[in-house]
Structure 1
Amino acid sequence: MTINKNLLIAVALFASSSAMAGSFSLGAGAVFNESPYKGYNENTTAVPLVSYEGDNFYIRQTTGGWILWKDAKNELSLTASWMPLHFDPDDNDDRQMKHLDERKASAFLGGAYYRHESWGSLKFALSGDAMDESGGMLGEIAWFRPIRMERLTLTPTLGVLYSDESYNDYYYGISGSESRRTGLDKYSAGDSWTPYVGLAAKYQLTQNLFLNASAVYTVLPDDVKNSPMIDRDDSFALMTGVSWRF
């Protein structure tokens, strides 16, 4: 099984649509995920849905934040995130891909800034690989706006993810030894910008029980889709689940 960044964005949209000061919610969901790697079929993955918003700390799915400054329109925090993107050759169906090296998931440390306005919220985030699996850096610029109705909240999102050369080369590059072993062309990836669009929906069934859904579509940049490990130009993830707000 592989997990790509679409899965991470899909479950993160759940947290964006449910953020309320002093609130905690817990649930479970399933993510349908199209992997960009060759040799993987579309797969469904069970994921926990976790969201907590406090005065000094938050948990937004795979990211924890320590708030340094917050007012009605601004939030600045230090962040620790788990980036689940990985590649396991033992799970791959492609004859050549099965002989590549493993690419491991990793933890990232960084910071995030949010600016909230009547027309929506802006997010700016930057983090680096704390476990030195890729040694890479990730960035994100995003706009989102919760649209609240009586029981339904819709949150459209537009964003772009930045991945530096080290990150992309670790997850999508092919070394000389791998090329000789597999027959795949040697490949070195550069840095990239990955645009995405998403939509999250949250429906309140009772005072505490909610239905959640989110979908994310990304267009893969050239430095990713040109890799011999990749066999598509875009990627899609859909998350559905239920959560309980305490």
Structure 2
Amino acid sequence: MKNLTMLLLTCIFFPISAWADTVDSCGSEYECIEIGRWDIGLALGYGSRSNPLKDYDDIPIYLVPTFAYYGDSWYFDNGNIGYTLVEDEKYTINLTTSFSADSAFFHRWDPANIFLTGSNKFEPSAFSTKTQVTVMGEEQSVPTADELETRHFTYLGGVEAYIYTRIGILNLSLAHDLLNVHQGTEAKLKWLYNLSIDEWKFELALVLDWKSEDVVDYYYGIRPSESAHWSEHYKAKSAINTGIELTSHYVLTKHWELLFLARYTQIADEIVASPLLNEDYTSTFFVGTAYRF
């Protein structure tokens, strides 16, 4: 975990050294949305998002919609609303909103499971039984899915910056809970690199995703009503997830293209320590055909 974090930090911060060698953020290797025009697309195929929670099934993916509109300053992008404060060839600073990714593990139709940029309560497996975990020589029951209180979806709001360099884009963001669900804060550091080879388009991303103690405790902590034992023995702490993402497109025609998406997130030890989890990672993949209107 520590080695992966150091590798991602190195890869993410290295592009800063190329600050002086900037390029147009809408150069040939980047796909941009025309101002004043809706960008609407729909991908059909098959994919899955693994669920690290006990007693919760993996999340199937069959449709991936895209809805985006960019004006001179305001924009809407797959459910997120933003306002551009500063726009330059070297950087962009926005006020923006984003979805809570953690709630997606608890709700099948969470926006993060629909817009892969991520309700009804997700149904646990019909064959799930109460899990037993041994602590200090004694078996302690872990609350199952149907015993948990609802972990609500929330909307985050904050500020983000994009820094454009010749060896990628650096994205930094800081967001806080807008709906007063957990009153937590999240920060993200992301490096993106785009490459075009004839009809192929590739985007590689490395991610560091920090979550405050309030976020971790709300989604992965145990309430006293769920388990008196685990509410005392698991103490939430702030955590940093690390991830890698690859998205590729193969252009068939003006409107049709093939889409492949793969993501892997190494969940922080502070979250894995929660008795609600039985995996220390989550992965997502999708393969399909996309149509852009």
Q: Same fold (TM over 0.5)?
A: yes
Equivalent residue in structure 1 for 2:123, among 91, 104, 107: 91
Equivalent in the alignment of 1:220: 267
Compute the displacement of 1:154 (Å).
0.4
Equivalent residue in structure 1 for 2:224, among 165, 173, 176: 176
Q: More relative contact order in 1 or in 2 (CA 8 Å, sep 6+)?
A: 1
**Equivalent runs, 1:103-142 vs 2, <5 Å:** 103-142=151-190
Gaps of 5+ in 1: 1-16
Compared with structure 1, are the counterparts of its residues 208 and 105 closer, same or farther at alpha carbon in structure 2 (3 Å cutoff)?
same
Compute the displacement of 1:150 (Å).
1.4
Gaps of 5+ in 2: 1-29, 108-120, 131-142
Equivalent residue in structure 2 for 1:49, among 66, 74, 84: 66
For 1:166-186, what per-residue CA distance to the aligned partner results, in whole angstroms no more than 9, with x for missing partners?
Answer: 001000000222114xx7564
Compute the displacement of 1:211 (Å).
2.4
Equivalent in the alignment of 1:206: 253
Are the equivalent residues in 2 in contact too, given 1:19–1:52 (CA < 8 A)? no
Compared with structure 1, are the counterparts of its residues 31 and 50 closer, same or farther at alpha carbon in structure 2 (3 Å cutoff)?
farther
Compared with structure 1, are the counterparts of its residues 215 and 51 closer, same or farther at alpha carbon in structure 2 (3 Å cutoff)?
farther
SS of the residue 2:271 aligns to? helix
Bigger-Rg structure (1/2):
2
The two structures have a TM-score, normalised by structure 1, of: 0.83
SS of the residue 1:139 aligns to? strand
Equivalent in the alignment of 2:94: 77
Compared with structure 1, are the counterparts of its residues 84 and 144 closer, same or farther at alpha carbon in structure 2 (3 Å cutoff)?
closer
Compared with structure 1, are the counterparts of its residues 52 and 203 closer, same or farther at alpha carbon in structure 2 (3 Å cutoff)?
farther
Equivalent in the alignment of 1:37: 53
Equivalent in the alignment of 1:5: none
Q: Distance in 2 between matches of 1:213 and 1:18?
A: 16
Equivalent in the alignment of 1:19: 32
CA root-mean-square deviation? 2.3
Compared with structure 1, are the counterparts of its residues 91 and 184 closer, same or farther at alpha carbon in structure 2 (3 Å cutoff)?
farther
Equivalent residue in structure 1 for 2:284, among 225, 237, 241: 237
Q: Does 1:188 align with 2:235?
A: yes
Q: Distance in 2 between matches of 1:215 and 1:59?
A: 24
Q: Distance in 1 between matches of 2:271 and 2:197?
A: 39
Equivalent in the alignment of 1:63: 80
Compute the displacement of 1:76 (Å).
0.6
Equivalent residue in structure 2 for 1:165, among 188, 213, 232: 213
Are the equivalent residues in 2 in contact too, given 1:185–1:228 (CA < 8 A)? no
Q: Distance in 1 between matches of 2:66 and 2:47?
A: 11
SS of the residue 1:169 aligns to? helix
The two structures have a TM-score, normalised by structure 2, of: 0.71
1:132 counterpart letter in structure 2: N
Equivalent in the alignment of 1:101: 149
SS of the residue 1:224 aligns to? helix
Q: Does 1:149 align with 2:186?
A: no
State the aligned residue count.
229
Compute the displacement of 1:189 (Å).
1.1
